[in-house]
């Protein structure tokens, strides 16, 4: 239930981001556009409310106690910082939409995407790409909003000029959007196409929806825009085409929130990536009950190098400490022992699994909840720092189990 609520809040947050920041970003480059203060105000407040609700959900995950430890966990964890940016950015946009200072609000909102999620946990390049991607989609959506408003408020010549300006700039923005999306997808998928990965299938659905958007945008540019100044019915066709584009945007937002809540880019089924010096697959952790401060995580680590290597240390921004542990059976009692390091021979794989070697997170800022993606840095003697993302699975589930999380 918490997962489904988180997915819905995410989708609402994406929609509110596009509606609140979009017209502001579009106005910054298009100039002389009809303003939409009421729309931006409502979406900015809605964005602040979704961020506050997500923080409240986070508090529930921590056990529901509004004590100092929980407050620190909320506001000092990466998720807390991102939610604070969305909250402040939403209110900023709502308060300053009528002035000239709305743009920093839009920047705050977009910056939140570079702090938590699959992309930031893959490093700063992926974080920058996801922010660029979100700026482009937000600008595109905002441009459609102002064009729709202009189709009601502006004369034929002015509307035609605005549509032509939008089409010219959109070519650059959409090219950037696609370039960022493809590079980001390749990085997150470890440069490997895996048709069995649900995550990658989700990206294919997004690509198909984008193709639909591009087809409509081409009709707007090539057929409707040149006729706006001379034919009255071109205006109503433009409105219909924009409405259809917005429906496709809604489908893209739904797909994105499903992808980022329920799927992991690391759910490859076809084995480790032979190209990476150290390959980490099936990194997962079981969901925990609220209030817990320690948690375990598992994965398969493959050393693809021609030399032996040793895992020296592990860290994560989600916990004060991450250590290597092993469970040893002493008669009927299973004991935990700290492992100082983990040697992996050249070409060998080591499996961290329940009941044997595993990673132990202590001093967790928040318990693992299904759908969370926990960033992790594993430091090897030779391969250096290797980034990984742990997918938190519902209790009782393991990687490769059914991926149908639809029933809540
Ligand atoms: C207009 C079309 C699109 C919209 C509205 C859109 C929207 C978004 C949004 C809001 C995010 C941020 C998610 C987050 O970090 O929480 C995102 C991330 C992403 N998008 Fe798109 N997107 C579009 C097209 C595409 C296409 C065509 C692809 C790839 C083929 C793509 C690939 C990605 C990837 C890989 C991420 C990172 C997802 C993750 O963190 O797992 N997007 N998109």
**Could you tell me the distance, in angstroms and rounded to a whole number, from the CA of residue 107 to the centre of ligand 1?**
18
Same domain for 107 and 241, yes or no, is yes
Name the pTM for this structure: 0.74
DSSP state of 116: S
> Which residue's alpha carbon is nearest to atom 33 within ligand 1?
181
- Alpha-carbon span 263 to 374, nearest angstrom: 13
Q: Decide if pLDDT at 105 tops 80.
A: yes
Same domain for 169 and 318, yes or no, is no
The 10s digit of each residue's pLDDT in 69-86 is 667 666 777 778 899 999
Q: What is the mean pLDDT of residues 196-214?
A: 94
- Alpha-carbon span 231 to 218, nearest angstrom: 18
Same domain for 251 and 107, yes or no, is yes
- Alpha-carbon span 260 to 214, nearest angstrom: 24
Most confident of 167-181, 182-196, 296-310: 167-181
Asked if residue 46 belongs to a domain, the reply is yes
Q: Ligand 1 pocket, 188 CB below 6 A?
A: yes
Q: Ligand 1 pocket, 14 CB below 6 A?
A: yes
Same domain for 90 and 234, yes or no, is yes
The 10s digit of each residue's pLDDT in 220-279 is 988 888 888 778 888 999 999 999 999 999 999 999 998 888 777 766 544 444 457 888
Contacts of 45 (CB under 8 A, 6+ apart): 90, 91, 94
Q: Left (φ > 0), alpha (ψ -120 to 50) or beta: where does 123 sit?
A: left
Contacts of 59 (CB under 8 A, 6+ apart): 66, 70, 74
Q: Ligand 1 pocket, 266 CB below 6 A?
A: no
Q: Ligand 1 pocket, 132 CB below 6 A?
A: no
Q: Ligand 1: which of 256, 261, 263, 266 to mutate, most ligand atoms within 8 Å of CB?
A: 256
Asked if residue 286 belongs to a domain, the reply is yes
Same domain for 243 and 350, yes or no, is no
Q: Ligand 1 pocket, 210 CB below 6 A?
A: yes
> Which residue's alpha carbon is nearest to atom 28 within ligand 1?
181
Most confident of 94-98, 199-203, 328-332: 199-203
Res 145: pLDDT: 96
- Alpha-carbon span 217 to 380, nearest angstrom: 49
The 10s digit of each residue's pLDDT in 399-408 is 765 444 333 2
Count structural domains, the chain: 2
- Alpha-carbon span 172 to 177, nearest angstrom: 9
With residue 211 as reference, give the H or E element that holds it: helix 198-219
Q: Ligand 1 pocket, 201 CB below 6 A?
A: no
Same domain for 202 and 323, yes or no, is no
- The two tokens of residue 325 are 């542990």
Report which of residues 54 and 172 the model is more confident about: 172
Question: The domain spanning residue 334 has which CATH number?
Answer: 2.60.40.1890
Asked if residue 326 belongs to a domain, the reply is yes
Q: Ligand 1 pocket, 259 CB below 6 A?
A: yes
Asked if residue 400 belongs to a domain, the reply is no
In total, the chain counts a number of residues equal to 408
Same domain for 139 and 251, yes or no, is yes
Asked if residue 165 belongs to a domain, the reply is yes
Same domain for 156 and 26, yes or no, is yes
User: What is the domain extent for residue 308?
Assistant: 278-393
Q: What is the mean pLDDT of the chain?
A: 86
């Amino acid at each position: 239930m918490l997962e489904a609520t988180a997915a819905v809040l995410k989708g609402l947050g994406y929609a509110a981001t596009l509606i609140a920041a979009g017209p502001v970003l579009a106005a910054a480059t298009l100039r002389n556009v009809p303003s939409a203060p009421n729309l931006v105000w409502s979406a900015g407040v809605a964005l602040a409310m979704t961020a506050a609700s997500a923080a409240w959900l986070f508090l529930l995950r921590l056990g529901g106690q509004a004590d100092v430890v929980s407050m620190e966990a909320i506001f000092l964890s990466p998720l807390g910082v991102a939610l604070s940016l969305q909250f402040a950015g939403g209110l900023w946009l709502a308060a300053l939409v009528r002035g000239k200072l709305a743009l920093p609000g839009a920047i705050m909102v977009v910056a939140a995407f570079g702090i938590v999620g699959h992309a930031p946990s893959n490093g700063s390049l992926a974080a920058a790409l996801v922010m660029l991607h979100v700026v482009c989609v937000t600008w595109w959506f905002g441009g459609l909003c102002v064009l729709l408003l202009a189709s009601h408020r502006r004369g034929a010549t002015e509307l035609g000029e605005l549509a032509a300006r939008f089409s010219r700039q959109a070519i650059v923005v959409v090219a950037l959007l696609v370039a960022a999306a493809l590079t980001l997808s390749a990085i997150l998928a470890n440069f490997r196409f895996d048709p069995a990965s649900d995550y990658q299938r989700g990206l294919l659905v997004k690509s198909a929806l984008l193709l639909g958007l591009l087809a409509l945008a081409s009709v707007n540019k090539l057929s409707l825009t040149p006729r706006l100044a001379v034919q009255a019915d071109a205006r109503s066709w433009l409105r219909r085409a924009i409405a259809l584009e917005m429906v496709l945007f809604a489908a893209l937002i739904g797909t994105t929130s499903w992808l980022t809540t329920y799927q992991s880019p690391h759910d490859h089924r076809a084995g480790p990536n032979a190209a990476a010096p150290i390959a980490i697959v099936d990194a997962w952790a079981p969901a925990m009950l609220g209030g817990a401060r320690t948690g375990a995580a598992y994965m398969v680590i493959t050393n693809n190098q021609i030399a032996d290597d040793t895992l020296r240390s592990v860290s994560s921004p989600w916990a004060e400490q991450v250590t290597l542990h092993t469970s040893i059976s002493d008669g009927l009692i299973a004991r935990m022992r700290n492992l100082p390091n983990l040697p992996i021979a050249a070409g060998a794989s080591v499996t961290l699994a329940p009941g044997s070697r595993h990673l132990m997170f202590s001093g967790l800022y928040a318990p693992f909840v299904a759908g969370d993606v926990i960033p992790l840095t594993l430091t090897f003697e030779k391969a250096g720092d290797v980034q990984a993302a742990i997918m938190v699975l519902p209790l009782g589930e393991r990687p490769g189990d059914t991926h149908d999380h639809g029933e809540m």
